Structure formats: structure tokens, C-alpha cells
Amino acid sequence: MCGIVGYIGEKIEIVPFLIGGLRDLEYRGYDSAGVVFLDDGRLNVVKTEGKVNRLLKKLQDRGLTHKKSTLGMGHTRWATHGAPSDDNAHPLTDSSMDFAVVHNGIIENHVELRRELQSDGYSFVSDTDTEVIVYLVKKYYRDNLLDAVRQAVKRLSGAFAVGIVSRFELDKVILVRQGSPLVVGIGSGAMYFASDVNPFLTYTDEAVFLEEGQIAVLTSRSVEVMDYDGSIVEWESMHIEWTPEMASKGGFEHYMLKEIEEEGKVVRETLEGRVNLDGISLPELSGASIEQIGRLFIVACGTSYYAGMLGKYLIEELVGIPVEVEVASELRYRRFPVYPNDMAMFISQSGETADTLASLRLFKDRGIKTVSLVNVRGSTIDRESDVTLYLRAGPEIGVASTKAFVAQLALLYLIAFQWAKERNALDIREYASGLLKLPYQIEEILSDKEAIKRLAEKYYSFRNFLYLGRGFYYPIAMEGALKLKEISYIHAEAYPAGEMKHGPIALIDEQMPVVAVIPRGYIYSKTLSNLEETRARRAPIVAVATTGDSDIVRYTNDVMWIPRSMEIFAPMLCIVPL
């Protein structure tokens, strides 16, 4: 991923705007950053390998931070083609600085295009795929930037979002969206654009989400949207309910810490108005009666996929329909049968994950009803699904998903209970009261972070961890291991506890701590015998266990406690300390 931000309008101090926007987008990439802005009739480009702070330093050193300008674009990069370097950082320009391009995504046919453009006489300075866009636009430019861009994008294959400016037409910015998100913020006397809404929330809450295959021409007072052939498309703006405060760090050192801290509140919001002791209210599902569903596919990536795994366990157990959970990046390239009474559910915090989106389209093309669990309103998956249920988690800036996961679980509980009520006349009173306690129980766990911190300090120097769980706790073990690798850069692997003896046991010794997700319940004693096996091999054992479980301490070196709950809700509590 990469992040794009930009502005066209009345003169402002452009650098603080672009740098602020890039900071909001650093979650999308942070190995290089750059800006281009109109400066005394020419395009001034400053870029660097490294984070946004390094770019700011460079701009400060050149005395550019208070420059006023009517036009600018910024980019933060996560290298795909070409290592992180000053040359490969965006914006990319042609040699005479006539055109500047920021780009998110991948141009799949860049090798052929580069060859063609080189034989036309253009010389390249970067290793990026992006540079072909610059020279295609230059090649096709005949006093009309829009025409040149339209011709250029028709030559590109792949998924991309692009922002283009030219020193010949300084009154406009051209955006192209094909497979990567781009949103336009409608201001008064100014237009903003970015990869998501966060960079311009302080300035406007009216946004236009570009659709696939659309080109937008922005001036300070107008937005014109068209397809690649130039046919004008009517656009409608959407009101964004998120506030700039919601997307701020709120005094925390990292967004992720803030987002973990919000987990109790998020679950409360997700449940708000959707459950009380008399029942569940999910009007979004009214057109999706469980009686008409023969099989459910749940499709997602990463953390959202693990939420889907727990969803499968819940729905199969409570509702009794078969559920296939699929990693989107696998499913989309496979051939598989579907039946008319299948339903497909997509889980995505961002609503923009390319593989999940591609899978959604695949099911739609095959006439299957689609339901999505999405956090970002107006995102592509939201717009393209037949039905969307919103997570209500607020902006999640940390790349590694945390609060969205608990919101996803909360929604999956609600859906499972609703369908179980319809199909099996489940009495949901007891479940409803358990659900409503969850926000408080999450807050209780988070009130003793010091205990968890002490464990982190004790174990951080180990290089490998094995996470074990059975049943409901296996997806939680998977998610716990994912967090450790992605955030701590420590190798961690999760296994269904009962499967450990079929291979991974060979790795277990005193250098391989085992994290066991083992609350009291139906599968407790089975997991306990697996822990015996790891203890026999002298692995240090850390358990996530239920408060008051006096047996577990005899088997483990350390315990992270979760409050007592109905067993079905224990997975949600277990993920908090992990």
C-alpha cells in the first residue's frame, strides 16, 4: 500500500497540509515520502527515503515549510517495485519537470511499457513501475492534460490510484482510480483528495468516493468525474460522520495503543441498539432470512479472516448451516462450485482490501447474495455489497487490526444469535446479557495492563513462540500469533492444540515458549493434556485462563487472566491480553 494526499484551491501553507496528511497515511507505507507543489510557476518536488519526519526535515532545511501555494500532492510509500530510495520515492517526474505523478498500486505491464518508452527516447531514473505513467502522459501530451491521461491509463494494466499534475495546466489535478481507493473532499474554494478521508477531515466532511475506472478532474471549485472514454458520470457526495478527534492519537504514544484501549467502548458501540434482553435487532439482515441460506461463505484477509473463523464455529454450532471460511487471496484464484442458495459474507475493516473486494465481485458475478461487515462507510466493499453491517469501530489507523477485530466478533455473535433465533428458536435472553457485559469485562482486563507488561518484559527476548488453542480458541491463538509477528517482529506460529503432536512438537524445548489459550470450558481438559506434552519438553508456558482457575497455575509458568463469562464469549476476552 501507499498513501496519496493532495490539495487544489486558494493559497494555503501547503507543506503543513501535505505533511499532516502524510502522517495520517503513514499506516499505508512509511519507507519513503515526498511532495510536489506549485512554487513560483514551477513544480517543486522534495522527496526522500525514510519516514515523513525526514521529509519534513528536508523541507525545513530548504526553507520551504511556509511556502504558500494553490496546488500540491504528497505520497508515502511502501516499496513494491524498486528499493526504498530517494530516486524511487514519489512524486515521480519527467526529466524536464513538466509532469508529476503520485501512484498507489502496481502497474503489471510496466516492463513492456518501459521498453517501449525507452525506445521512444525517454530515459528512466527510478526502478519503479510508476515512472512509465509519467512518460506515457508526456508522450501523449498535446496541450491537453486530460486527453493525455486518458490515453495513458488505457495502456496500463493492474490496480492503481494515481494523481497527476502538470506545469502546463496548473489549474487542475487529475485523479484516476482503478483498484486502489481515492476519495475527494469537497471544500469551499478548495478540493482535497487522499487515499482515505482522514487527511481532510479537519477541512471538510463531504466526500466523493471515486469508483473503479473513473477519472476525476479537480479544480479549486469543481469536480468532474468521467470514465476512461470521457463520458461524464454524475457524482454524489457522502457525509462523513468521523471527526478529526476520532482519528487522532489522543495522547497515546501509538495509534495501536489507543485503539486497544478503545476496545471496550467499541464493542459497546457495535452492540448499541442492536441487542437488549428481548432480542437482537439487525434490520440489515431482514432480506437475508436464514431459511433461504443453504451454505455461507465467509471471505476475508488477515485479522478479519480469523474473526471469520470464529464466525464459522459460532454459526455452525448455533445455527447449524455449513460455513466455509476462505482466505480471499486464495479463493479468488480458485475454481469452486456455488449453489443458488449460498450466501457470501465479507469481513473487512477498511472495506478496500483488494483480494476481499475481488472475491466479492466474483460472488456477485455468479449471482450469489453478498453481505459485508465493514468499518469504513463509503468504502468499495460497502458500496458494492448487497447488504452492509457497520462495525462502528471509528477510524482504525494502526495497520495491525485490534479494535476492529473485537467489533467484528461482536457483530458475528449478533448475526449467529439472530439466525439461531430464527431457525432454532434460540432463547437469546441469557446470551444477550452475556453480550452486554463484554464491554465492561474488556475494560476490566485493560485496567491491569501492568501485569501483561511484566510478562512482555519477561518473555520478549525469545525468538519463537507457539500459540495453542482448540475449538473457539484456535482462531484466537491464530490472531494472537499474528499480532506478535506483525508488531514485535518475533516469529510466532499458532496450531490447533490437538494437532501439535503431529509435527510441531519436535520444535518444542526450553527456547520455545508456548502461549495457551485455555479458558475453563468444554475443551479445557483436552488442551491441558497438550500442555502436559509441552511441559515435558520444558517449554515455558504462558496461559490465557479464567480467573479463579486454580488448576492452570500448576501447569504453567505465567497466566494472563480473563474474567468469568459464558464460555461462548471467552474468545472475545482472550484476545484482549494477547
Binding test (CB under 6 A) with ligand BG6, winner from 69, 195, 304, 372: 304
Residue 299 is a binding residue for ligand BG6 (CB under 6 A)? no
Q: Which residue, 482 or 512, is less far from ligand BG6 as judged by CB?
A: 482
Point out which span in 126-134, 386-394, 399-407, 410-418 binds ligand BG6 (CB under 6 A).
399-407
Task: Judge residue 554's burial from the number of C-beta atoms within 10 Å of its C-beta, 0-12 exposed, 13-18 middle, 19 or more buried.
Answer: exposed
Name residues whose C-beta falls within 8 Å of residue 433's C-beta, 6 or more positions apart in sequence: 277
Q: Which residue, 228 or 242, is less far from ligand BG6 as judged by CB?
A: 242
Measured CA to CA in angstroms, residue 404 lies from 375, 450, 455, 494 at distances of: 7, 23, 25, 21
Q: Which residue, 169 or 384, is less far from ligand BG6 as judged by CB?
A: 384
Binding test (CB under 6 A) with ligand BG6, winner from 12, 97, 400, 505: 400
Point out which span in 108-116, 198-206, 297-305, 470-478 binds ligand BG6 (CB under 6 A).
297-305
Q: Which residue, 302 or 563, is less far from ligand BG6 as judged by CB?
A: 302
Residue 302 is a binding residue for ligand BG6 (CB under 6 A)? yes
Residue 338 is a binding residue for ligand BG6 (CB under 6 A)? no
Point out which span in 115-123, 232-240, 299-307, 499-507 binds ligand BG6 (CB under 6 A).
299-307
Binding test (CB under 6 A) with ligand BG6, winner from 89, 285, 288, 301: 301
The residue assigned the cell 453491517 is 389
Smallest separation, CB 401 to ligand BG6 (Å)? 4
Smallest separation, CB 26 to ligand BG6 (Å)? 14
Smallest separation, CB 348 to ligand BG6 (Å)? 3
Binding test (CB under 6 A) with ligand BG6, winner from 198, 356, 388, 527: 356
Point out which span in 349-357, 441-449, 451-459, 510-518 binds ligand BG6 (CB under 6 A).
349-357
* Cell numbers that stand for 447 in this block: 485496567
Helices (H), 460-509: 473-488
* Cell numbers that stand for 132 in this block: 512509465
Name residues whose C-beta falls within 8 Å of residue 539's C-beta, 6 or more positions apart in sequence: 466, 508, 509, 510, 512, 513, 514
Residue 353 is a binding residue for ligand BG6 (CB under 6 A)? yes
Please name which of 389, 329, 387, 391 lies closest in space to residue 362, comparing C-alpha atoms: 329
- 177 close to 158: Cβ distance less than 8 angstroms: no
Residue 401 is a binding residue for ligand BG6 (CB under 6 A)? yes
Residue 563 is a binding residue for ligand BG6 (CB under 6 A)? no
Point out which span in 301-309, 456-464, 523-531, 535-543 binds ligand BG6 (CB under 6 A).
301-309
Cis bond before residue 475 (omega within 30° of 0):
no
Point out which span in 13-21, 398-406, 417-425, 552-560 binds ligand BG6 (CB under 6 A).
398-406
Residue 180 is a binding residue for ligand BG6 (CB under 6 A)? no
Binding test (CB under 6 A) with ligand BG6, winner from 204, 349, 359, 534: 349
Measured torsion, CA atoms of residues 104, 108, 110, 112, in degrees rounded to the nearest 10: -170
State which H helix or E strand residue 230 sits in.
Answer: none
Point out which span in 199-207, 300-308, 458-466, 545-553 binds ligand BG6 (CB under 6 A).
300-308
Smallest separation, CB 483 to ligand BG6 (Å)? 9
What is the C-alpha to C-alpha distance for residues 295 and 342, in angstroms, rounded to an integer? 5
Residue 350 is a binding residue for ligand BG6 (CB under 6 A)? yes
- Quote the radius of gyration of the chain (alpha carbons, Å): 26
Question: Which amino acid makes up residue 130?
Answer: T
Buried b or exposed e, range 227-260, using 16+ CB within 10 angstroms: eeeeeeeebebbebebeeeebbeeeeeebbbbbb
The residue assigned the cell 510478562 is 455
Strand-strand pairing, 279-280 and 275-276: antiparallel
Maximum distance among all alpha carbons in the chain?
79
Smallest separation, CB 197 to ligand BG6 (Å)? 15
Q: Which residue, 399 or 477, is less far from ligand BG6 as judged by CB?
A: 399
What is the C-alpha to C-alpha distance for residues 488 and 467, in angstroms, rounded to an integer? 15
Residue nearest to ligand BG6 (CB): 302
Smallest separation, CB 327 to ligand BG6 (Å)? 10
What is the C-alpha to C-alpha distance for residues 55 and 32, in angstroms, rounded to an integer? 8
Binding test (CB under 6 A) with ligand BG6, winner from 88, 126, 195, 348: 348
What SS3 state is found at 68? strand
The site that binds ligand BG6 (CB under 6 A) totals a number of residues, namely: 13
Please name which of 127, 141, 133 lies closest in space to residue 161, comparing C-alpha atoms: 133
Residue 220 is a binding residue for ligand BG6 (CB under 6 A)? no
Smallest separation, CB 373 to ligand BG6 (Å)? 9
Helices (H), 336-378: 354-365
Q: Which residue, 308 or 471, is less far from ligand BG6 as judged by CB?
A: 308
Measured CA to CA in angstroms, residue 265 lies from 128, 258, 306, 438 at distances of: 43, 12, 21, 10
Encoded one letter per residue, x for contact with ligand BG6 by CB under 6 A and - for no contact, window 452-491 reads ----------------------------------x-----
Q: Which residue, 166 or 304, is less far from ligand BG6 as judged by CB?
A: 304
Binding test (CB under 6 A) with ligand BG6, winner from 2, 35, 267, 399: 399
Residue 303 is a binding residue for ligand BG6 (CB under 6 A)? yes
How much of the chain is in helix, strand and coil states, percent to nearest 5? 40, 25, 35
Question: What residues make contact with ligand BG6 under the rule CB under 6 A?
Answer: 301-304, 348-350, 353, 356, 399-401, 486
